[in-house]
Amino acid sequence: MQELQEVLQSINWGLIAPLILIQLILMLIAVIDLIRIKHTNGPKWVWLLVVLFINVIGPIIYFIFGRRQNG
């Protein structure tokens, strides 16, 4: 337990916190868009898994390839 506390204290949260915030914002926007949009390129459940489990890149992949451009 002591080792975990030392590791957590040694992390530079000033650098990591913005990345975590960006990840959460991207995920939230992508999930909201996925719920609201009628049609996607492929099943919605697959895009949900991509958005939730592929950090930072998942939501970006969804916005580039998952959304249909004409609908």
pLDDT of residue 11: 84
pLDDT of residue 28: 93
For 28, list phi and psi in degrees, rounded to 5: -60, -45
In one-letter notation, the amino acid at residue 45 is W
SS (H, E, C) the chain: CHHHHHHHHHCCHHHHHHHHHHHHHHHHHHHHHHHHCCCECCCHHHHHHHHHHCCCHHHHHHHHHHECCCC
Domain assignments of the chain as residue spans, ordered by start: 2-66
Residues of the chain with pLDDT under 50: none
C-alpha–C-alpha distance, residues 58 and 5, integer Å: 31
pLDDT of residue 36: 92
